Amino acid sequence: MLRGVRIALVEDDEFMGGSLVHRLELEGAEVIWLRQVGRALGALRTPRAPIDVVVCDIKLPDGTGEELFNRLCETATPPPFLFITGHGGIDQAVRLMRAGAADYVTKPFDMPVLLERLSSLVMRTPQDAFPAILGVSPAARRIEELAREAARQDRNVLIIGGPGTGKGALARHIHDQSERRAAPFIALNLARQADAAQELLGADGALARVGEGTLYLHALAHLPEAAQAGLIEALERGFAGRIVASCGPEITALRAGGDMRTEVIYRLDMAEIPVPPLSQRPEDAVWLMSILFEQMNARRSEPLAGISRLSEEAVRAHDWSGGGRELRARLAQGMASAPGPMLQPADLFPERIASAPGPVTLAQAREKAERQHIIDVLEQCGGQVGNAAKILNVSRTTLWDRMQKYGIGRDTG
């Protein structure tokens, strides 16, 4: 019934949570069990792979399901939410549905009822033909919708985006999901070839080798003059393959140029897929960092414990002018030089240390150390303020006051 569906379960009760996980997995679902608002917020904002539906209790130890849903809605469109509530919480559940939640069930509920509701939600949510390619943000999901449509059709495609935005990966996925996937995928970077015309048009060039497959022309703006007429001639002869090209923002100038490249662009009659830069998709930058971190960490003889929340905040705030390539380079360097078990902002952005303000007062140093210690303890406690207060040997009220003073959110950790 739910085979292949990825479900996030947000439930702190061990008995109910364990029972739900067991039954959902028997139905074929993959279940990610989250027990707190703080943990669920990060996991749902930047999941390892797209979440199809969320099953969420209303009452949680560090907040409510309503708080979780509303905070997710602040930055993106969350997956469909099915809330679990007691009879006294029906008004709240109805209010959530008016705000965009998908459905709710009341305790106690019959398992077949829950499964039927989940199946209905999954059927109403189109299943992605691709895994996440560029990220988890609404912009990334929209790009992948356009890619799915391009894969179903046979029109040439132009992917428009700056450096390091995943244009090559997107081109490859379009080919892999199309009816041409059994034929070759030939990639030619026009900006890096000493003789791009020969590589494209020669007897053993890309046009000759691609057959009925997909020819990916990276950096279309660098199409040499010697190749432009030859490419048009090949199109007029009835080129059997399909062209997927990529270009940066300079495509606007190319169209207005009035030269042979302008004619090539119009002859190709390409469907366009614009890819926004990472600076406009901060959640995708965090998602990409987590994917790359996992890959790089697996190759280390002494793996790091993880990525700190402060590092995630720093990644969201960075402009990423170099796109994914800059992120990969910073991550590799940061992991190589990280002195502690967790990857910190100073590891990713060492230049900020050199440009940091001069000496601070003793009071400022104490406040900075106290703030960091509170964040570290909250992280150890999974964001539970009560447990953190016990470790810090202060009252819950005192800890709340300190958190308010230093601008520490409940999901820190």
Helix axes 362-380, 385-392, angle to 10 degrees: 130
Distance of CA 170 to the CA centre of its chain: 14
Tokens of 61: 């130890």
**CATH number of residue 314's parent domain:** 1.10.8.60
Pairing state between β 342-343 and 214-218: unpaired
- Which portions of the chain are predicted below pLDDT 70? 1, 87-89, 98, 124-132, 258, 353-360, 382, 409-413
Asked if 344 and 385 sit in the same domain, the reply is no
Question: Is the four-CA dihedral 89, 90, 95, 100 of positive or negative sign?
Answer: positive
Same domain, 169 and 240: yes
Residue 131 lies in a domain: no
How far does Cα 48 stand from its chain's mean position?
A: 8
Q: CA 70, CA 74: separation in Å to the nearest integer?
A: 7
| Separation CA 404–CA 384 (nearest Å) | 15
| Domain end point (choices 226, 258, 275) | 275
CATH number at residue 76: 3.40.50.2300
The pLDDT value given to residue 411: 43
Whether residue 130 is contained in a domain is answered as no
Which of 185, 165, 190, 166 has the alpha carbon at shortest distance from 175?
A: 185
Give yes or no: residues 199 and 219 share one domain.
yes
97 and 11 in a common domain: yes
How high is the pLDDT of residue 129? 38
**Residue 269 sits in the same domain as residue 142:** yes
Residues 152 and 271 in one domain: yes
Predicted TM-score of the model (pTM): 0.58
> Which of 275, 305, 321 is the last residue in one of the domains?
275
* Residue 336 structural domain: 279-354
- Strands of 44-146, DSSP E: 53-57, 59-60, 63-64, 81-85, 103-106
| Count of H-run helices and E-run strands, the chain | 20, 14
- My answer on whether 142 and 266 are in the same domain is yes
Let me know whether 263 and 342 are in one domain: no
> Which tokens is 251 given?
């495509």
Residue 387 has φ and ψ, to the nearest 5°, of -65, -40
Q: Judge whether 112 lies within some domain.
A: yes
Same domain as 250, residue 149: yes
| 176 and 264 belong to one structural domain | yes
As given in the structure block, the two tokens for residue 233 are 């001639």
Question: How many domains does one find in the chain?
Answer: 4
Q: Confirm whether 233 is domain-assigned.
A: yes
**Does 129 map to a domain?**
no
pLDDT at 375: 82
Task: Clarify whether residues 158 and 107 are in a common domain.
Answer: no
pLDDT number for residue 181: 92
Indicate if 11 and 28 belong to the same structural domain: yes
In-domain check, residue 411: no
